[in-house]
Structure 1
Amino acid sequence: MDKKIVLIGLLTVCIFSILSMTASAADNIEWVEKKDGAKLYWGETINVDGYDVKAEDFNEEGMVFVSISKDGEKLKTSPLTAGLEFEYNDEIKVYAQKVDPNYEVITKDGKEFKTGKWNPYAELDILLRGKPGFDIDVETKKDTYDSKLTGDSRIDVTINVKNDGEAKAQNVVLTVDTAGLEVLNGKTKYTYTKILKDETIEPISLTLKASTPWEDTDYNISVKTTCEDIRGKKYEHTGYKIIKIEKKWDLIVSKNFIKERHMGENVPVSVTVRNRGLCDINNIVLKDSIVSNMHLQKDATLEKTFSLKAGETAEDVFKYTLVPERPGEYTFPKTVAAFTLSNGQSEQVESDNSEKITIYGPYIEITKSVDRQQLNSGDKLTVTVTAKNTGNVDASVTVTDTVPSEAKLISGETSFKQVLESNGGSKTITYIMQMNKEGEIKIPPCKANFLDLDKYSGEVYSESPVVNVGKIITLEGSSPQPEGSTSSNEEKDETSDPSTGGTEEDYEDTPGFGFFLAVAGILMGTGFIMKKKA
Structure 2
Amino acid sequence: FHDEGTVFVTISKDGEELKSGPLAAGLELEYDDEIKVYAQKVDPNYEIIKKNGVEFKTDNWNPYAQLDILLRGKPGFDIDVDTDQDSYDPKSAADSRIDVTINVKNDGDAKAENVVLTIDTAGLEVISGKTKYTYTKVLKGEVLEPITLTLKTPAPWEDTDYKIIVKTEFEDFKDEEYEDEGSKTIKIKRKWDLIVSKSTTKERHMGEPVYVSITVRNGGLCDIKDIELTDTLVSGMRLEEDMELGTTLSLEAGEVAADVFKYTLIPEKPGDFTFPKAVATFTLPNGVSKKVESDNSDKTKIYGPNIILTKSLSTKQLEEGDELTVTVTVKNSGNVDSSVTVTDTVPPEAKFISGETSYKGVLQSGGGAKTIKYVLQMHSEGEVQLPTCKATFLDLESYKGEVDSNTPAVVNVGALTLEASSEQQQPAGSTESNQEKKEEPDDTHVKTGGTEEDYGDTPGFGSLLAGLGLLGVAGLRKKGLV
The question of a shared fold, defined as TM-score above 0.5 by the shorter chain, is answered with yes
Alignment partners' CA distance in 1, 2:273 and 2:101? 50
Paired residue secondary structure (1:277): coil
Look up the match of 1:67: 10
Paired residue secondary structure (1:181): coil
> What displacement does 1:358 show?
1.6
Higher mean C-alpha displacement, 314-323 vs 103-112: 103-112
Alignment partners' CA distance in 2, 1:436 and 1:98? 129
Higher mean C-alpha displacement, 305-314 vs 403-412: 403-412
Alignment partners' CA distance in 1, 2:256 and 2:374? 65
Q: Is structure 2 residue 185 aligned with structure 1 residue 242?
A: yes
CA contact (8 A) 1:377 1:471 kept: no
Paired residue secondary structure (1:231): coil
CA contact (8 A) 1:413 1:430 kept: yes
> What displacement does 1:279 show?
1.9
Which deviations, in whole Å up to 9, do the C-alpha atoms of 1:25-79 show, x marking residues without a partner?
A: xxxxxxxxxxxxxxxxxxxxxxxxxxxxxxxxx2334433232322222222232
> What displacement does 1:183 show?
0.9
Look up the match of 2:209: 266
Look up the match of 1:467: 411
Rate the CA distance shift 1:466–1:94 in 2: closer, same or farther, 3 A: farther
Paired amino acid for 2:14: D
Alignment partners' CA distance in 2, 1:113 and 1:417? 125
Structure 1: gaps (5+ residues): 1-57, 473-508, 520-534
Q: Is structure 2 residue 114 aligned with structure 1 residue 198?
A: no
CA contact (8 A) 1:181 1:208 kept: yes
Q: Is structure 2 residue 280 aligned with structure 1 residue 342?
A: no
- Aligned counterpart for 2:305 among listed residues 321, 345, 362: 362
Paired amino acid for 1:441: V
Look up the match of 2:175: 232
Taking structure 2 as the reference length, what is the TM-score of the superposition? 0.80
> What displacement does 1:117 show?
5.3
CA contact (8 A) 1:68 1:74 kept: yes
Paired residue secondary structure (2:148): strand
Rate the CA distance shift 1:61–1:444 in 2: closer, same or farther, 3 A: farther
Which deviations, in whole Å up to 9, do the C-alpha atoms of 1:424-482 show, x marking residues without a partner?
A: 2222233333333332333322222222222212121224333322259xxxxxxxxxx
Paired amino acid for 2:152: K
Look up the match of 2:478: none
Q: Is structure 2 residue 389 aligned with structure 1 residue 446?
A: yes
CA contact (8 A) 1:97 1:123 kept: yes
Which deviations, in whole Å up to 9, do the C-alpha atoms of 1:76-98 show, x marking residues without a partner?
A: 22323344332322222223344
Q: Which runs of 4+ in 1 moved over 6 A?
A: 104-115
Alignment partners' CA distance in 2, 1:262 and 1:357? 11
Rate the CA distance shift 1:158–1:437 in 2: closer, same or farther, 3 A: same
Which deviations, in whole Å up to 9, do the C-alpha atoms of 1:222-267 show, x marking residues without a partner?
A: 1111112232222211111112222222221111221222211111
Paired residue secondary structure (2:269): coil
* Equivalences, count: 422
Alignment partners' CA distance in 1, 2:9 and 2:217? 80
Look up the match of 1:85: 28
Look up the match of 1:418: 361
1:375-454 alignment runs, 5 A limit: 375-454=318-397
Rate the CA distance shift 1:94–1:391 in 2: closer, same or farther, 3 A: farther
Alignment partners' CA distance in 2, 1:467 and 1:451? 33
Paired amino acid for 2:354: S
Structure 2: gaps (5+ residues): 417-463, 475-482
Paired residue secondary structure (2:402): strand
Look up the match of 1:499: none
Paired residue secondary structure (2:396): coil
Rate the CA distance shift 1:378–1:120 in 2: closer, same or farther, 3 A: farther
Paired residue secondary structure (1:59): coil
Alignment partners' CA distance in 2, 1:61 and 1:392? 104
CA contact (8 A) 1:104 1:117 kept: yes
Paired residue secondary structure (1:206): strand
Structure with the bigger RCO (C-alpha within 8 Å, sep 6+) is 2
Identity of matched residues, %: 68
Alignment partners' CA distance in 2, 1:146 and 1:227? 37
Q: Is structure 2 residue 130 aligned with structure 1 residue 182?
A: no
1:100-179 alignment runs, 5 A limit: 100-101=43-44, 118-179=61-122
Which deviations, in whole Å up to 9, do the C-alpha atoms of 1:389-446 show, x marking residues without a partner?
A: 2222222222222233332333322222332222222222333333333323333222
Taking structure 1 as the reference length, what is the TM-score of the superposition? 0.72
Look up the match of 2:458: none
Which deviations, in whole Å up to 9, do the C-alpha atoms of 1:272-302 show, x marking residues without a partner?
A: 1112222222222111111111111111111
